[in-house]
Structure 1
Amino acid sequence: MGSLFRSEEVCLAQLFLQSASAYSCISELGERGLLEFRDLNPKVSPFQRRFVGEVRRCEEMEKTFTFLQQELRSAGRALGPCPEIPRAPLAREALRVQEQSEQLAQELREVSRNHASLRGRLRDLRQYLHVLREGQRFTSLPVGGPRGSGVVKGRLGSCGVRVGGDLWGSSAVPTPLPCLCSFVAGVIHPWRVTAFERLLWRACRGYLVASFVEMPEPMEDPATGESITWVIFLISYWGQQIGQKIRKISDCFHCQVYPYPESEAGREDTISGLHSQIQDLSVVLEETEQYLAQVLDKVALALPTWRVQVQKMKAIYLILNQCSFDVTEKCLIAEVWCPVQDLTQVQDALRQGSYQSGSSVECFVQRIPTSESPPTLIRTNKFTAGFQSIVDAYGVASYQEVNPAPYAIITFPFIFAIMFGDVGHGLLMFLFALWMVLYEDSPRLRQGTNEIWLTFFEGRYLILLMGAFSIYTGFIYNECFSKATVIFPSAWSVATMANYSSWSSAYLATHSSLTLDPNVTGVFRGPYPFGIDPIWSLATNHLNFLNSFKMKMSVVLGIVHMGFGVVLGVFNHVHFQQRHRLVLEFLPEMIFLLALFGYLVFLIFYKWVKFSAANSLVAPSILIHFIDMFLFTSNDENLPLYQGQVPLQKVLVVLALASVPVLLLGTPLYLWCRQRTPRTVRLGGLAVGEQEPLLEGQEAGNSINTTKEDVESGGHSPGTKHLDFAEVFMHQAIHTIEYCLGCISNTASYLRLWALSLAHAQLSEVLWTMVMRNGFVGLSYLGGVVLVPVFAAFAVLTVAILLVMEGLSAFLHALRLHW
């Protein structure tokens, strides 16, 4: 709890590493994750540092790994997680990883190139085969078709352009085309057919016959990799010049042109040869794909481990680039921030690294004094990590300041539950989180790729507590899917009221609502044992009652929450020995908060205690009293709650106003006066120059000593730092304005607890009334059948609207109130 309540004590230390064992020592320290290294070469370019060659080699290997991963992704395979966490490789092992990865990459490039070449060749052969088949059908058609077939007569009377209609569906008697014509055949992208056909007509002036038909099967586009249905074209023409024009136009439209034999026998021989080539090429392609799959299996097996190893190796060399060499260049010196309690572990890690490298000289660590503020280190576990992330998202506490995360473990789910209070909804949320907690070690849950799911999984303990607290507040509100539950008998007696008022059958028939008077003896038998009485769910004024209750509860909890936050500052003032802030900051802040809003809480409780149902009609308004308090007036129509109320309220307002200048000027003036009269600081009986050992069990040659004052104060020696009075005053002015305005605005902000709780209850009631209640209309078997889809719709809407949307809204508002 000490580390969670306040950040770890961190010191600045130096590591003395032998050049031969530096790599192993940094690797061992990295596996333990104990240190934060400082850059001792800030003015040296990254390209001029000692180990830049090794870093570049790691980057080259990472490029190779990226290529391998892309090949896996293009093959439709996902790269799995690393089965175990490997250590950083040694120099010989790193060289082996580099050689094997480059060999695999080269092999994969060659196989992929051959595979792509074979697929392209097979695609061309199939396209050629379809071109010849469709061309045979075309060349057997007559030159001129029936009317309306779309054949336009050419100038020579024996040729034309087919512009529409059924190309192969002519009912004319087949007549072979004249033997003097030549052919251009190929395939074209379907998007370019219209422009291609129009340009052919205009460029060749109609001295051709062009036919277009879709390919029977879709094939891959080599440019985009998409599967499209190509269009086959066959153009017959007369004349060498026209043929040259057609070929040039085909090249401009990126058409794939194939040789087209002019004789029937030549086409039959070509088709037969294509069948044989396609069959042989399919066998070769299948074997190539099998070999490619084997190579990809090797990559998928080795790549996760290699990536982790190279990442660690690169991190080690980046750390070594931050170190500096001594004058002999045989020893590396590093400066690190280290938790004080982990210094012995650091020394053990250095000893282990020196042993693994076979160095005869042992590396060591020594603590050094510093005037810089150490970084903040707060240790977390799987339960507290989610709550610490909520706090750190707003801002990380300064070194050794109080950490608010332990208190947020309770306050955050509770404030969320106030807005989300419902037993049924809270139970669903609790069970969902409990399932994630029970199966948190499952690889299937941990290794998901969906970012939203990973967010839910990381916050499983937070969701678990939010669900548990929502169940609790749901019992307080007595709401379960918007319906009240009768756990205990109601404290209101309708029979007693009926006997007292002598309600007749005629009276009950003419009055849709009945009034229960708590002043009648026996009608109200005392408070409900736990939560709100279920009879309020049947009352017509239940919203007025719940709104009044939740509004006052929100104000009370909000002011208590703000006051608790101010009280936490006391621990910081005492820890940093800034006792003047207790009088000049904490005391004025508490006076301002309690004199105004603490008094409002007192009025709420006082009115609850003093006025009951018997004298509720004469109860004064707290709101009017609070307004009159600031106006220094009194209202004769609004009776005082107690004797001497008006003078007391004036005194409280004066105290609140008087605390503002104290808060604004107190700390700056005190620091200014203290700077003018410096004094010698002595701590714990030790003078400034006295020293004491810092590491237990270390020899004198392996550590240094520093002043105890510098260690305990984090390097800040009082009285040695120059004070900028203008900066201090500006900072205090901002703090004063922010605090005074924040007390007012934040108190109003806590009313969102009431607003969102009301919205959640009303949405629950609307869903039940508009959806679920319709399933209980029929009492026959048909009603049971109708209930199934109605309940399914109710369940889906409940999860989507009330659990997800309303839950996210309540979470964000709870986050805002904590920030």
Structure 2
Amino acid sequence: MGSLFRSEEMTLCQLFLQSEAAYACVSELGELGLVQFRDLNPDVNAFQRKFVNEVRRCDEMERKLRYLEKEIKKDGIPMLDTGESPEAPQPREMIDLEATFEKLENELREVNQNAEALKRNFLELTELKHILRKTQVFFDEAVPSISYNTTSHYSRKKWRYLQMAENQNEDEQAQLLGEEGVRASQPGQNLKLGFVAGVILREKLPAFERMLWRACRGNVFLRQAMIESPLEDPSNGDQVYKSVFIIFFQGDQLKTRVKKICEGFRATLYPCPEAPADRREMAMGVMTRIEDLNTVLGQTQDHRHRVLVAAAKNLKNWFVKVRKIKAIYHTLNLFNLDVTQKCLIAECWVPVLDIETIQLALRRGTERSGSAVPPILNRMQTFENPPTYNRTNKFTKAFQALIDAYGVATYREMNPAPYTIITFPFLFAVMFGDLGHGAIMALFGLWMIRKEKGLAAQKTDNEIWNIFFGGRYIIFLMGVFSMYTGLIYNDIFSKSLNIFGSHWEVHYNRSTVASNKFLQLNPETNDYSGTPYPFGMDPVWQVANANKIIFQNAYKMKISIIFGVIHMIFGVVMSWHNHTYFKNRLSLLYEFIPQMLFLILLFFYMVLLMFIKWNRYAATNEAPYSASCAPSILITFIDMVLFNTPKQPPQGCESYMFGGQAFFQKLFVLGAFACIPVMLLGKPIQIMKQRKQANEEVQPITGATSDAEVGMSNGLGGHGGGGGDHHDEEEISEIFIHQGIHTIEYVLGSVSHTASYLRLWALSLAHAQLAEVLWQMVLRIGLTHEGWFGGVVLTIVFAFWAVLTVGILVLMEGLSAFLHTLRLHWVEFQSKFYQGQGYAFQPFSFDAIIENGGSTNQTEAD
């Protein structure tokens, strides 16, 4: 239980392991997760360490598993996850795992390569099928219809020229086709048109047609037709749309130019016979081959699916095993070898309470390895600061994370997390007090708590969701506490609950109350029972439009100061626990006592004045304790600090709340001011005296000459644990400067921190006003209509109001209140006692490594 309020006591140990037992022992320690190893080879390159080859083998196995995982996810095959964590395999089992992964990878790659080749053949045959089908239509069409069904005017014109050129002489050809056409033909022979057919991506077709026209000077004729169904790209599996084209031209030069253009646009050309019988015969052969390929492709996919399904059953366990092996060898690389090369030496931080558990784990590892030499675990003396280790569970983990986000606690200093479990949701609820909004937040937190196993197993990468889920207990408690403060404020969605009736009786009629917005609740004019409401606020204040804000302002402002001062005093009390634990007598006498007196004599006295004012003054009392005679607490406090004489009160009233108040106030201010020089000079002067005394007593005997030696010999220096003084090696001038900064910080901070707690009042008032605005401006509109039309309007308006309520008042206002509460804890509370200069204990733990995706990086203690 003590470790909840203060971090675990840690010790540095030296561990001796026989080489044959080292692997099994480290495996047991990884399952335990209670040992943080230090790197004893900081200057050795990672590639020169003893077990670097084993780590590389593990990296290669991880690569193969990631490849398998990618292929399994590509096919949408579910991977079996039993939630169990298999033990780390023995070193000899690495060979079997490597062989298994190698076989699976090779088989899968071979299947994929075969499937890709088959898909490529299937694509080519499918494209050829479409070419034969589409070009058959082109060849079957008559010349006039072909020439006037093309997509462009220049294609129709050139086709007409080419058809005429087949039966004309050379001179006429030159006139129609130009000189290039003449050079491309044999003199005195009839021209014969050539053609190429192929497929091209549909989006490239317009640019392809323009390039053909420009490069060939319009001496080609292009026909194209779209392939309606998409085709699968075998290289990446994407679905692409293509078009069939056929290009008519004359001469070898144009043929070469056309083919180069097709190659540039990545168009695929296919052989297409001229004779219709040859095309039909080829089409029949293509269809037969496509059917055969479909059969082979189906068998290939079935085989691939069987391989992946078998791998999916064991993939999670394989990942765990490989990552455990890798983590073990990575940890073994931190060890040193003795001179005989038969023993591994390690240094590690361990919790003192768990030494026996660690020794039992080492014995199990030794027995499992078959070694006859037991491991040796020796505690070491050190002046280094040990790591900070706070044991947490799933409930306290989130609150500890809030504290560690500010700074990890210095070793063995007081841990604010246990107190934050109550103070954090409570201060949040003071700002967020609404029964309805708190219920929404509490239900959301409760849902995450009830479903935490299933939600945790999903392991999403959504950072916002992970933050919400990690803080599910904080959200639940904030919601519950907000429901409590909502009952205190008697506020639910800006309305009130009339549970116990009202202790007010208003004598105005209904029309006057409804029409007059300047009516106020006044105990002097209205009938008030004189007894306080049983729980929370009287519901009548929700309809007191004239002075509701005035009443709530005064109430919430005062409770903010009360809670703030109590919270700060509690923080100073925590510093007393630190000073007594570390036996820091100087800090106890010259820091804790004057700090506590300063806070009590000024600010706690102001809190007492509030209770006195509430107790003594009332509207029904006679002067000098009537409501009109009640002095302002703020003005009284300012006059007290400045030694001002209070202003003359109204006739029949008194300037002070109780007898002797002026004397006590002067005494308190003088006492508080007297604490400042004690905080400023007391501790440095005592350190100076002790150093001088130690120098006179020790130096003639031991010959000590330095302040550090004198301080250590006189018992002033603290051990490596945090929280104690570290002044033994500091110059006295630096001690004075540091103490001066600390004193100024505390004195000025006490004023600013007290004022900072007014954010409890400000945000609470803002939240209540926003809720009332949503009611008046949105939801009330839906209540002004009657009948079926009113029901429709109310449904729409309520949906809009609900979205705004959840989005603005629950999410945005909740986040704002959360951040302000976080600041009150980090700055106003923890600054009184919390140093936060430690470093976290990061043990070698398989669970943490697997949760982080196999990362074996470990923060070194040195």
Partners of 1:236 and 1:388 lie apart in 2 by 79
What's 1:751 paired with?
758
Counterpart amino acid of residue 554 in structure 1 = S
Displacement of 1:14: 1.4
Q: Work out whether residues 564 and 754 of structure 2, in 8 Å CA contact, stay in contact via their aligned partners in 1.
A: yes
For these two proteins, the number of residue pairs brought into alignment is 768
- Alignment of structure 1 residues 19-168 onto 2, 5 Å: 19-77=19-77, 79=79, 81=81, 83-139=83-139, 140=141, 142=143, 143-145=146-148, 150-152=153-155, 153-154=157-158, 157-158=161-162
Counterpart amino acid of residue 824 in structure 2 = L
- Alignment of structure 1 residues 337-416 onto 2, 5 Å: 337-416=349-428
Query: In the alignment, which of 552, 563, 566 is matched to residue 569 of structure 2?
Result: 563
Q: Work out whether residues 672 and 723 of structure 1, in 8 Å CA contact, stay in contact via their aligned partners in 2.
A: no
- Taking CA–CA contacts closer than 8 Å with sequence separation of 6 or more, which of the two structures ends up with the larger relative contact order? 2
Partners of 2:669 and 2:67 lie apart in 1 by 72
Partners of 2:558 and 2:276 lie apart in 1 by 97
Partners of 1:277 and 1:711 lie apart in 2 by 90
Higher mean alpha-carbon deviation, 135-144 vs 803-812, is at 135-144
Displacement of 1:231: 3.2
Partners of 2:108 and 2:696 lie apart in 1 by 73
Q: Are 2:529 and 1:529 aligned?
A: no
Partners of 1:527 and 1:195 lie apart in 2 by 87
Partners of 1:215 and 1:680 lie apart in 2 by 103
What's 1:287 paired with?
299
Q: Work out whether residues 620 and 640 of structure 1, in 8 Å CA contact, stay in contact via their aligned partners in 2.
A: yes
- Alignment of structure 1 residues 719-738 onto 2, 5 Å: 722-738=729-745
What's 2:336 paired with?
324
Displacement of 1:505: 9.2
Displacement of 1:190: 3.5
1:613-669 deviation line (CA, Å, top 9, x unaligned): 242223332333334445443452567333555565455444444433433343333
1:227-281 deviation line (CA, Å, top 9, x unaligned): 3322333211111101111111111122222222222222222222222222211
- Alignment of structure 1 residues 442-461 onto 2, 5 Å: 442=454, 447-448=459-460, 450-461=462-473
What's 2:596 paired with?
590
Partners of 1:472 and 1:25 lie apart in 2 by 52
Q: Secondary structure at the match of 1:15?
A: strand
Displacement of 1:159: 6.3
Query: In the alignment, which of 792, 802, 806 is matched to residue 799 of structure 1?
Result: 806
Q: Secondary structure at the match of 2:452?
A: coil
Partners of 1:535 and 1:185 lie apart in 2 by 89
Partners of 1:55 and 1:721 lie apart in 2 by 46
Q: Are 2:219 and 1:207 aligned?
A: yes
1:69-93 deviation line (CA, Å, top 9, x unaligned): 2222333446554531011110122
What's 2:631 paired with?
620
1:433-486 deviation line (CA, Å, top 9, x unaligned): 223333433467664554433333322222221121111101001011221001
Structure 1's 710 and 558: CA in aligned 2 closer, same or farther, altered over 3 A? Answer: closer
State the TM-score, normalized to the length of structure 2. 0.83
The unaligned stretches of length 5 or more in structure 1 are 161-177, 682-708
Higher mean alpha-carbon deviation, 127-136 vs 74-83, is at 74-83
Q: Secondary structure at the match of 2:504?
A: coil
Partners of 1:47 and 1:419 lie apart in 2 by 56
What's 1:553 paired with?
559
1:409-445 deviation line (CA, Å, top 9, x unaligned): 0001101111211112222222232233334334676
Q: Are 2:260 and 1:248 aligned?
A: yes
Partners of 1:303 and 1:680 lie apart in 2 by 73
What's 1:189 paired with?
201
Partners of 1:483 and 1:11 lie apart in 2 by 58
What's 2:524 paired with?
519
Partners of 1:17 and 1:741 lie apart in 2 by 57
Partners of 2:352 and 2:17 lie apart in 1 by 20
Structure 1's 778 and 17: CA in aligned 2 closer, same or farther, altered over 3 A? Answer: same
Partners of 1:519 and 1:510 lie apart in 2 by 22
Displacement of 1:535: 0.1
Partners of 2:764 and 2:370 lie apart in 1 by 67
Q: Work out whether residues 420 and 760 of structure 1, in 8 Å CA contact, stay in contact via their aligned partners in 2.
A: yes
Counterpart amino acid of residue 545 in structure 1 = F
Structure 1's 815 and 141: CA in aligned 2 closer, same or farther, altered over 3 A? Answer: farther
Q: Secondary structure at the match of 1:114?
A: helix
Q: Secondary structure at the match of 1:187?
A: strand
Higher mean alpha-carbon deviation, 602-611 vs 546-555, is at 602-611
Structure 1's 586 and 154: CA in aligned 2 closer, same or farther, altered over 3 A? Answer: same
Structure 1's 509 and 185: CA in aligned 2 closer, same or farther, altered over 3 A? Answer: closer
What's 2:818 paired with?
811
Query: In the alignment, which of 686, 696, 703 is matched to residue 670 of structure 1?
Result: 686
Query: In the alignment, which of 268, 271, 290 is matched to residue 280 of structure 2?
Result: 268
Higher mean alpha-carbon deviation, 227-236 vs 395-404, is at 227-236
Partners of 2:510 and 2:54 lie apart in 1 by 97
Displacement of 1:346: 1.4
Q: Work out whether residues 369 and 715 of structure 1, in 8 Å CA contact, stay in contact via their aligned partners in 2.
A: no
Partners of 1:145 and 1:477 lie apart in 2 by 86
Higher mean alpha-carbon deviation, 248-257 vs 593-602, is at 593-602
Q: Secondary structure at the match of 1:257?
A: strand
Counterpart amino acid of residue 465 in structure 2 = W
Displacement of 1:532: 0.7
Q: Secondary structure at the match of 2:113?
A: helix
Q: Work out whether residues 159 and 208 of structure 1, in 8 Å CA contact, stay in contact via their aligned partners in 2.
A: no
Partners of 1:652 and 1:252 lie apart in 2 by 94
Counterpart amino acid of residue 626 in structure 1 = F
Higher mean alpha-carbon deviation, 204-213 vs 125-134, is at 125-134
What's 1:15 paired with?
15
Partners of 1:390 and 1:667 lie apart in 2 by 33
Q: Secondary structure at the match of 2:500?
A: coil
Q: Secondary structure at the match of 1:89?
A: coil
Q: Work out whether residues 775 and 791 of structure 1, in 8 Å CA contact, stay in contact via their aligned partners in 2.
A: yes
Partners of 1:504 and 1:311 lie apart in 2 by 79
Partners of 2:54 and 2:151 lie apart in 1 by 77
Q: Secondary structure at the match of 2:15?
A: strand
1:530-554 deviation line (CA, Å, top 9, x unaligned): 1011000000121221122112221
Q: Secondary structure at the match of 1:620?
A: coil
Partners of 1:418 and 1:159 lie apart in 2 by 93
Partners of 2:86 and 2:457 lie apart in 1 by 22
Q: Secondary structure at the match of 1:396?
A: coil
1:83-138 deviation line (CA, Å, top 9, x unaligned): 31011110122221111112111111111122222222222222222233222333
Counterpart amino acid of residue 667 in structure 1 = K
Displacement of 1:47: 1.7
Q: Work out whether residues 323 and 333 of structure 1, in 8 Å CA contact, stay in contact via their aligned partners in 2.
A: yes
The unaligned stretches of length 5 or more in structure 2 are 165-189, 621-625, 698-714, 827-862
Q: Work out whether residues 131 and 244 of structure 2, in 8 Å CA contact, stay in contact via their aligned partners in 1.
A: yes
Q: Percent identity?
A: 48
Displacement of 1:521: 7.8
1:45-69 deviation line (CA, Å, top 9, x unaligned): 2222221221121112122222222
Structure 1's 260 and 646: CA in aligned 2 closer, same or farther, altered over 3 A? Answer: farther
Partners of 2:191 and 2:288 lie apart in 1 by 29
Counterpart amino acid of residue 144 in structure 1 = S
